[in-house]
Amino acid sequence: MRSPKLLQHLQPLPRPVLIAIVAATAGGSLLFAPHTATADRERPPVRERSTDADSAANAPASAARNALTAPVTDLADADDGSTDTDKGTGGYPREQVLTPDPENPADKSIKLGLTPYHAIAPKLNALQQLGDRVSVEIAGRSAGGHRLYLVTVTAPETARQARAQDRMRELIENAPRLAAKDPAVKAAYKTPVFFNNNIHGNEWEGTDAALDLIERLATAKDKKTTDLLARNRLYFNITANPDGRIAGTRANANGFDMNRDFVTASQPEVRAMREIEIDKQPAVMLDLHGYVNGTLIEPTTPPHGENYEYDLFLKNTYANALGMEAAVNGLGYTPAKDGVEPAQIPFRDQQEGWDDWPPIFTPQYAAFHGTVAAHTVEIPLTVNNSAYDSLPVAELRRRSAINVDVAGAAMRATLDFAQSHRASLIADQIEVFRRGAAGAAQVPVSAETVPGVPGIGPEDVYTTAFPRAYVIPAGASQRSATAAARLVDHLLANDVRVSRATGDFRLAGRSYAKGSYVVDLRQPKRGLANVLLADGRDISDEVSTMYDISGWSLGRLWGATVERVRGGGLSGAPLRAVDEAAHVGYVAPRGDLRLRLDTPQEIAALNSLLKQGVSVRQDRDGSALVPASARAKAAAAARAYDVAFDATKASGGTVLHRVRVAAAVTSGELFALREMNFDVVPVSTAILNAGFDWSTADVLFVSSGLDRSALTPAARTALDAFLGNHGLVGGGATGAALNTATGLLAVQPVEGNEDANGVVSVVNSGGLVTSGAPDHSFVYAPVWFTDLGPGVRVEQWYATGNPLVSGHWRPRNDGTGGPSAAAGQAAVVSGPHAVLFGTEPLFRDHPKGEFPQVGRALLTVS
């Protein structure tokens, strides 16, 4: 369940021909050349590159630059230590014998009478032996190292037939005008349908419903089934979160809610799902969750994502929702007898509070890859959290059996919908890509444009004005070449087309240097490009409440300079499509060296040098000064982290030391700290009360999970003694409360509306913490500081006026806590031994450009 705060041609086309077709369709621009590796985009088993910062020195620079969005590699070409045997061919089925996992009697699924993770591989082996319809691939591995199983169910295909499907799928995305007219697409293209299960680990039953359905499809001989499999490819992500399934937790082994991670893609499971979306290009998908009674079936309430083609999306999601509702209610469960309420469709049955605004949710992200019917389905009966521990086993198993039945009904109804609406679904997917490539206007929803959907009103109309392009400039106008390269790689990993200038050029009256990157918004996935790069929108006046975050701009938060080109043509720009960003790692050939500390990679490189014993000083502008004697180590760091060491004649500065961080923080913040190569040991109220060795830490970072008033006297004394000689970095209300209790900085924290979140404008003072920092940050339950006492320095202010750029930030009902109250107030403050953040610079491992503020703070106060 979501939780508030609290989404042609049968013969292969030669690559040059396809490029020419795409170029012609896009008005001659080679920005729309297809993916570099499109000979078989439906890549078999994939896995992610290592994200271990300490081993980055031995990794390619592009991997170190962006470990979280590194391109995947094929398991077929890499040894992961598995003994799984692949017996597949270029066609279907693509069978492989999976090695079993050790039996785990502690698997939380067992108590519910569901399939434990260790039983999935044997089950899949058995399903593959039932006939020639079931194929199994390894889509990646979880954060905890468990295999992610992708099952394909379809009628057998020869290698040639499979290649023909690949070519048609490529044509749909890359040459949609031709695809719309192609008789082969209309007659022979198999509709891709995707079922994503168990992304929240303690919402189990989608996995079991999927296994049951696969078994039925594998063996059924009736005409309905054979017709279905002849016209569709069905993809099942059996468990998107095996770590959480085993442990009975919502999050994966890294502590991440992966249904919030699709913009950032910090987690390997999310990157695997992203690859499935790109490679399989589903027209229809379900994301199976729990628990809402009665069963909740999207489409959603306002606000609706303004960057996708909502008229096509709403038409199909509503029609499929009606079919799922009928199927679920048709099971015959009742409130009186079974405790099951009738199904509900938020678009029809609710006013607000269950929106599809942010692309962080699986179905909302899928929409940007051409999925025109994408749903979250929340099955009804709670079996997790307190219910798991308090209810009798028999009752838990009764509920789980009903939930499996409900999930299965939703899946079967979706298959009926996909089969009966095949032609229109493919036509609508083609239209999504056509509008993007052509730069066509969006179609606002109305009773006329989306017939058959009742209750459409002005509150449902959300569209945006797409710019002509975005430029990520090179040269002096780029804040950080390292951040720019990371952003470009992330865009490419999301299947956004990017080109690089082979010479100087002008666009819309502005000059840009050779090497600048251009994201032409006339591309099939323009919605995804824009939702990632645009500022976003302040929707505070649109609705009274939001389900989750409302702002997320990579263009503002990832540290690179990104410029919007509103109109005009691109024909005068000498552009060449790229499949990775150019490396920017560099070391000056002589003299002492300066390393800017403006990106997470630069902080990570610095920490790598400090761990190697290099003597590094910090200059007045916050940058790191590295002696010429460490040039070889700097060169290794430049290669590993893709950062630049420039020559400097600066002298003096403050000596920097390796920092060991005791951190009472969220999982996302912990992940971000480790990305910056800090030595981190997690702490909490419970850990300190159990006895903590403070000699293992140099600085304390607190934003969550540590309440000084709940400490034992001994733990409180030890904490106070540590802070008497070491530094504190505090985040949000929790960090501010600890500062108040210990009296380190004389400030008065003011808490804003706890439901507020989004991108804000800020003003930096130029101190060691915020020198050169971006002029935007992120807030989530914002805090600001007043009544500043002696020795307190303001590092950053909220901008005057309305600091909110995009997101949702209203005053409370009593008028307090709104953006106008925060305007002009201190957002980040510092003193000799403490730094306090009222912003959220590490939120969910997302706002990359803000990370160095925390990194510098930890280095400064330690």
Residues 82, 155: one domain?
A: yes
Question: Using 50, 70 and 90 to split pLDDT, how confident is the model at 468?
Answer: very high
Distance from chain centroid for Cα 590: 41
Distance CA 378, CA 364 (A): 15
Question: Using 50, 70 and 90 to split pLDDT, how confident is the model at 89?
Answer: low
* Residue carrying structure tokens 């999927």: 210
* Residue 65 lies in domain: 15-49+59-438
What number is the average pLDDT over the span 20-36?
Answer: 33
Residues facing residue 286 across a β-bridge: 195, 375
User: Does any domain span residue 463?
Assistant: no
Distance CA 686, CA 712 (A): 10
Q: Is the pLDDT of residue 30 over 90?
A: no
Q: Is the pLDDT of residue 591 over 50?
A: yes
User: Does any domain span residue 454?
Assistant: no
Question: Using 50, 70 and 90 to split pLDDT, how confident is the model at 84?
Answer: confident
Residues 528, 595: one domain?
A: no
Residues 258, 329: one domain?
A: yes
Distance CA 224, CA 612 (A): 66
Chosen domain end from 577, 606, 639 = 577
Residues 387, 243: one domain?
A: yes
- More confident: 48 or 367: 367
Residues 744, 787: one domain?
A: yes
Are 772 and 598 a contacting pair, CB within 8 Å? yes
CA dihedral sign of residues 575, 496, 170, 151: positive
User: Does any domain span residue 459?
Assistant: no
What number is the average pLDDT over the span 245-254?
Answer: 98
User: Does any domain span residue 54?
Assistant: no
Residues 406, 516: one domain?
A: no
User: Does any domain span residue 452?
Assistant: no
Percent of the chain clearing pLDDT 90 (strictly above) = 89
Residues facing residue 785 across a β-bridge: 749, 826
Distance CA 492, CA 37 (A): 13
* Residue carrying structure tokens 């087309």: 497
Residue type, 565: V
pLDDT in tens, 638-680: 999 999 999 999 999 999 999 999 999 999 999 999 999 999 9
* Residue carrying structure tokens 């008028």: 815
pLDDT value, residue 87: 59
Own/partner contacts of 95-99, CB < 8 Å, gap of 24 or more, are 95/128, 95/134, 95/135, 95/136, 96/128, 96/136, 96/137, 96/138, 97/125, 98/122, 98/124, 98/125, 98/136, 98/147, 98/149
pLDDT value, residue 572: 86
Mean pLDDT, the chain, whole residue set? 91
Give me 505's structure tokens: 């050029």
SS3 115: coil
What number is the average pLDDT over the span 700-720?
Answer: 98
Give me 161's structure tokens: 């037939």
* Residue carrying structure tokens 């078999």: 44
Q: Is the pLDDT of residue 21 over 60?
A: no
Query: CA–CA distance from 275 to each of 41, 138, 677 (Å)?
Result: 10, 12, 27
pLDDT value, residue 14: 36
Distance from chain centroid for Cα 11: 36
Helix axes 526-533, 422-438, angle to 10 degrees: 60
Phi and psi (nearest 5°) for 766? 90, 15
Residues 431, 516: one domain?
A: no
Distance CA 117, CA 127 (A): 16
Q: Is the pLDDT of residue 64 over 60?
A: no
pLDDT in tens, 306-357: 999 999 999 999 999 999 999 999 999 999 999 999 999 999 999 999 999 9
Distance CA 684, CA 196 (A): 34
Chosen domain end from 595, 623, 655 = 655
269 noted as active-site residue: no
Residue 509 burial by Cβ neighbours in a 10 Å radius (0-12, 13-18, 19+): exposed
Distance CA 657, CA 144 (A): 32
Instruction: Supply the DSSP symbol for 434.
Output: H
- Residue 269 belongs to a domain with what CATH number? 3.40.630.10
Q: What is the DSSP string of 59-84?
A: S-HHHHHTGGGPPPEEGGGS--S---
What number is the average pLDDT over the span 473-481?
Answer: 97
Residues 66, 160: one domain?
A: yes
Residues facing residue 857 across a β-bridge: none
Residues 573, 602: one domain?
A: no
Residues 184, 119: one domain?
A: yes
Query: CA–CA distance from 61 to each of 48, 497, 502, 678 (Å)?
Result: 15, 21, 22, 19
Residues 529, 629: one domain?
A: no
Distance CA 704, CA 732 (A): 8
User: Does any domain span residue 44?
Assistant: yes
pLDDT value, residue 2: 54
Per annotation, catalytic residue among 205, 275, 298, 378: 378
User: Does any domain span residue 1?
Assistant: no
SS3 339: coil
Q: What is the DSSP string of 738-772?
A: HHHHHTSS--EEEE--TT-EEEEEEEE--STTTTT
Q: What is the DSSP string of 15-48?
A: HHHHHHHHHHHTTS-GGG---TT-TT-S-SSEEP
What number is the average pLDDT over the span 72-76?
Answer: 30
pLDDT value, residue 63: 42
pLDDT in tens, 137-146: 999 999 999 9
- pTM equals 0.91
Question: Using 50, 70 and 90 to split pLDDT, how confident is the model at 41?
Answer: very low
- Residue 619 belongs to a domain with what CATH number? 3.30.70
Four-CA torsion 96, 102, 103, 105, nearest 10 degrees: -140
Q: Could you tell me which of 450, 466, 531, 456 has the C-alpha nearest to residue 302?
A: 456
Residues 753, 640: one domain?
A: no
- Residue 719 belongs to a domain with what CATH number? 3.40.50.880
Q: What is the domain count for the chain?
A: 4
Chosen domain end from 577, 604, 624 = 577
Instruction: Supply the DSSP symbol for 625.
Output: E
Cα atoms in the Cβ-side hemisphere of radius 13 Å centred on 774 = 27
Q: Could you tell me which of 489, 535, 498, 504 has the C-alpha nearest to residue 517?
A: 498
User: Does any domain span residue 457?
Assistant: no
